[in-house]
Each structure stands twice: as structure tokens, then as C-alpha cells.
Structure 1
Amino acid sequence: MESQSATDYCLERVRRYDHARYLTTLFCTAEQRSLLAAVYAWNLEVAKTAETVSEATLGEIRLQWWSEGLSELWKGNTRSHPVLQALALGRGNLEKAAQSFERILDARSLDLDPSPPANLDALEDYAEATSAELICIALAALGTPADEQERKIARHVGIAWALTGLLRAVPFHARQKRLYLPEDHLEVAGVQRSDLFELRGSDQISGVVMRLAKRAEEHLSQAREHAQGIESDRRAPFLMAGLNDLHLKALKRANYDPFDSRLARLEGRGAWKVSWNAWRGRF
């Protein structure tokens, strides 16, 4: 596939299946947008692993294929896949974030285990290893690896985004008999797993969701405390924080019931929120 076609492929995949991140790429140059789309399209490929395989072993094989594909890419060899071909256009910058790519792949192997995280620390470790590391890769795609301040902000924004996304995805994961709510929280609250797997809301489930949503709010607040001094051309990967605010407000309006159908809609406000924050120099 020609590089331009590979880039178009990634842009379309991200626009369709990761629209939040797609919106943030609109505040970059065309060249930066293409490389960010490649990074986010790669993330889509590895994030869907558990959904596309029938057993854990096949998932591990799939993740290993992507790991080997990246190793070859850093050596100058590109496998015949549009995402890897698009990543190759920014090989020099992205190779500096090679450890972040590998940490994401390692964390995604946890998706192949249906057991929930043992506690909040385990859940936040997973969130950091997936979502926060992806922000660090995006920053490398913009030209230089994340510095200490940017990594600190990326950690908080990434964890908040992952926590909120997992709360919104409770129905989706429940249909697959998968759980990402911390096991100790479920036990203390007295949550019946049958309620979750049969898509039945309860006060106990809402209580767990509320506590995790509040934790996401804390991470966003901490991210913004450190946001001073972030250059405008480095801000795009953090713009999802504004969308996160909208999702958390929607959860609150739904009384933290993850099965409330209203949670699937942002009523077109997502693009407005990202644009408004970008214009104000905030996230």
C-alpha cells in the first residue's frame, strides 16, 4: 500500500473508531495529524485484541506479531500492513518512544484475562500503561519525547481518560463477561456479578462507579495543576481532558448508572469542547 493510502487508512480508522482522539488531531499540522493518526490506529489494533480472538493464546500471538513488527520497523524494515507503513513515515521520532509501545503491548495482554483488577492501584497501573503511555508516544510523534513535566501530565490525563472510558464501557465488557471494576471495590460494595453480566443497574454498582469517577476527576485536577508552560504545539494529545469532563458530567446526570442509555451520547458537544479549549490554550 502506498504511504499516502496508508495514511488515509489510519485517518479513516481513527475518525470512525476513536473519534475523540481524531478531534484532537485537527489542531495539528497536516504532517503531525497523519503521524498521530498512525499512532492512534496502531492503538486501535492492539486494544481490540481481546475482542477479536477466541482464546488467550491467539491473543498473545497477535500481540507478539505487533511487537515483532515494531522491532523490525526500528531496524528499517516495514511489514505489509498499512498501520506499520504509516508509522514508518515517522520512524525517527517514534523509535524514541519504543519503550512506551512495548509497555502498552505488555498491558494489553491483561485484557486476555477475564479476572478484574485486584484493587484501584492495579487498575490505575493498567490505565497508565495503556492510556498515559499512548499520550507519551503522541508527544514523541510531535517531534521530541515527553519531558518530565509532560509525562506527569500525561499520567494524570491518561489515567483519567482510561478510568472514565472503562466506566462507560461497563455494558460492553459485561456482555463479554469481562470486568475492569476493582475486585476489592466490588466486594466491599456487595456488588452481585450476575447484575453486571445481566446488565442490571443497582445502587451498589452505581456506588462503585461514582467512586471511580471521582478518582478520575482528581486526576484531571492534578493534571491541570501542572499544565502551565505546555507549548501550544504540544497540547493536542492532552485535549481529550475536556471531553473527559463531558463524560464525567454525563455519568453524574445518570446517577452513575453505567447502563443508562444516555451515556452513549454527547449530543455533538465533543467537537465544540475540544475547539473551545484549544482556542483558549487550555485542556
Structure 2
Amino acid sequence: MTLHPAAANADYGTTASGSSFYAAMRILPRDQREAMFQIYSFCRQVDDIADSNGRRPERLAALQQWRDDIDALYQGRPPPRLQDYAASVKTFGLKREDFLAIVDGMEMDVPQDIRAPDLATLDLYCDRVASAVGRLSVRVFGLPEEDGILLAHHLGRALQLTNILRDIDEDAGLGRLYLPREGLLLAGITTDDPQRVIVDRALPKVCLPLAERAKKHFEKADQIMKRNSRRVVRAPRIMSKYYRAILDLLLARGFAAPREPVRVHKWAKIAILLRYAII
């Protein structure tokens, strides 16, 4: 699969522009900001492969090429699309296994669409597509090793579970259903057909426990950030507050069909930035 040329260039800020990620990362010093935009660009490119309409064998081959390119980067011969990453890898000690975990996570959607994974598989998915990104990020932010890994674990899962709850209808349109099989069965839903699940009257019984799980991860992440320097947790704190606001909006709206999309208003975003961007 051929990536869009702009995505392969080093204009990471443009790639991220307009996202909540961009708002959180633009407050960082230049070297940290550029490293984070590189991580973001990498994630976007592999995610675009997983979500594309290409044939599954082609998408698998494209993801394998990313693995090969990551291996080449860590062997000291980065390909053109990863040329700029070498300095960040060295400066911040970014780990090869975290980049590869992200590719593995994106690949979980490719051989067949994910539909009602068991809780263990869902947690593995969250670890790969979100917490692995966090493990790269906390090294850039400069958190101590132990707290950094813990923050990546909890905040990554909190953000991803929030994404899953926010995007139920959009994912169903792609033939995907990330809600856990155990939760569906407990609510009396025996199908894993996304289009049938999203209109089932028992859906809130599946979503609310997942929202509670996300809240607990947010709380654990907050505890970790509180015991660390405000300077090193500015960016993750902004992401946390923004996504917690999304979760609160979802809970206020409810999960019964029909569901209106939720959105954090511009002034609420500005308030979060003003409160947490300044040391």
C-alpha cells in the first residue's frame, strides 16, 4: 500500500493540526514536540493502513513493511520515512518493542474485523494501540521509569476505552464491535453483529461498566500525575482532562439509541489548556 506523500514527510505538526493531541503537544519544548509529532505521525500512518479499504493481504504486507522499517531504524539504517526519528530514538531512549506493539495492535483489525473480543483480548488491544503509545510518550515527557510505565498503562486504557464508547456507531459502520463479549452476554445480548448490537435496548448495560472501568483508570492516572512534577505531566494531564470531559458527556447523554455525537466545546478546551498548560 502506498502512503499519501504528505504523511511520509516530516511535517508532523500539520499532520496533527486540529486534533486534541496537537493542542496538548504544542506547549512542549521543540525537541519534545517534534518527537511527539513523529510518534503521532507513525501512529496515524499505521492506523490509516488498518482502516483503509485495501485488500486484507495488502494491508498485512504494508504493516509488515513498517515492522521491517522499524527494525532497520534500530539497526542504524533508517529508511527515508523514518530518517528523522533516529535523533528522537537516541535522545529519549524510545523502545523498538513499543513501536512494534503499536503495529501489532493496528493489525488486530486486519485479518478480520474485531467483533466482541473477550476482556483479555480487549485489554491487549488497548495496551498495544494506546498504552504502547503512552510508553513512548512518557519517555519524551521525562517521567521517572516506574511512574511513566504506570501512567502509560492507566491513561492509555482510559483514553482507548473512552474512544470505544464514543465511537460505537462509527465502528459499527466499519463492521467492528469493540465491546467485550462478557459484557454483552451479561446484558443478554447474544449476537456480535455490530448493527444489531448498537440498537439493542440492553446496550447501556454493556457500556456503563466499561465507562466505570475507564473512570478508574483516569483516577489511577491522576494519582500518578499528582506525585510528579507539573512540568513533566502538563501534556498528559491536558489529554486526560479532555478525554475525561468526553466520558462525562457520554455518561450524561446515555448510551440508548438513538445517540447524538458528543463534542467538547471550544471554550471548554481553552479552559483546560489555560488551567494545565501553565506551570
> TM-score, normalised on structure 2?
0.86
Q: How does 1:72-87 map to 2 (within 5 A)?
A: 72-81=72-81, 84-87=82-85
Paired letter, 1:212: L
The aligned residue for residue 70 of structure 2 is 70
Match of 2:160 among 159, 162, 165: 162
- The whole-number CA distance in structure 2 between the counterparts of 1:200 and 1:118 is 16
The aligned residue for residue 189 of structure 2 is 191
> Does 2:103 align with 1:101?
no
How far 1:97 moved relative to its partner? 1.4
The aligned residue for residue 243 of structure 2 is 244
Q: Is the 8 A contact 1:160 1:220 kept in 2?
A: yes
How far 1:101 moved relative to its partner? 0.9
Paired letter, 1:73: L
- The whole-number CA distance in structure 2 between the counterparts of 1:52 and 1:107 is 15
Unaligned runs of 5+ in 2: 1-7
Q: Is the 8 A contact 2:197 2:203 kept in 1?
A: no
Counterparts in 2 of 1:145 and 1:55: CA distance versus 1, 3 Å? farther
Paired letter, 1:217: K
Q: Is the 8 A contact 1:46 1:108 kept in 2?
A: yes
- The whole-number CA distance in structure 2 between the counterparts of 1:233 and 1:86 is 26
Counterparts in 2 of 1:238 and 1:99: CA distance versus 1, 3 Å? farther
Paired letter, 1:14: A
Q: Describe the SS at the equivalent of 2:178.
A: coil
Decide which moves more: 212-221 or 70-79.
70-79
The aligned residue for residue 57 of structure 1 is 57
Counterparts in 2 of 1:149 and 1:262: CA distance versus 1, 3 Å? same
Structure 1, residues 63-103: CA drift from partner, whole Å, max 9, x if none? 1111111111223323233xx23323413135541111111
The aligned residue for residue 265 of structure 2 is 267
Q: Is the 8 A contact 1:25 1:33 kept in 2?
A: yes
Q: How does 1:108-257 map to 2 (within 5 A)?
A: 108-112=106-110, 113-142=112-141, 147-191=145-189, 196-197=194-195, 201-235=199-233, 236-257=235-256
Counterparts in 2 of 1:200 and 1:106: CA distance versus 1, 3 Å? closer
How far 1:241 moved relative to its partner? 0.9
- The whole-number CA distance in structure 2 between the counterparts of 1:203 and 1:186 is 12
How far 1:193 moved relative to its partner? 5.0
Q: How many aligned positions are there?
A: 269
> Does 2:42 align with 1:42?
yes
Q: Is the 8 A contact 2:98 2:133 kept in 1?
A: yes
Counterparts in 2 of 1:111 and 1:196: CA distance versus 1, 3 Å? closer
- The whole-number CA distance in structure 2 between the counterparts of 1:182 and 1:11 is 35
Structure 1, residues 197-230: CA drift from partner, whole Å, max 9, x if none? 2685343112211111111001111222233332
How far 1:196 moved relative to its partner? 3.9
Counterparts in 2 of 1:201 and 1:277: CA distance versus 1, 3 Å? farther
Q: Describe the SS at the equivalent of 1:178.
A: coil
Structure 1, residues 129-173: CA drift from partner, whole Å, max 9, x if none? 22111011112234x586011211211110000000011111111
The aligned residue for residue 33 of structure 2 is 33
The aligned residue for residue 11 of structure 1 is 13
Q: Describe the SS at the equivalent of 1:111.
A: coil
Counterparts in 2 of 1:117 and 1:192: CA distance versus 1, 3 Å? closer
- The whole-number CA distance in structure 2 between the counterparts of 1:117 and 1:85 is 39
Higher helix share: 1
Unaligned runs of 5+ in 1: none
- The whole-number CA distance in structure 2 between the counterparts of 1:234 and 1:63 is 32
Paired letter, 2:77: N
Counterparts in 2 of 1:233 and 1:64: CA distance versus 1, 3 Å? farther
Paired letter, 2:259: D
- Percent identity reads 20
Paired letter, 1:51: D
Counterparts in 2 of 1:240 and 1:145: CA distance versus 1, 3 Å? closer
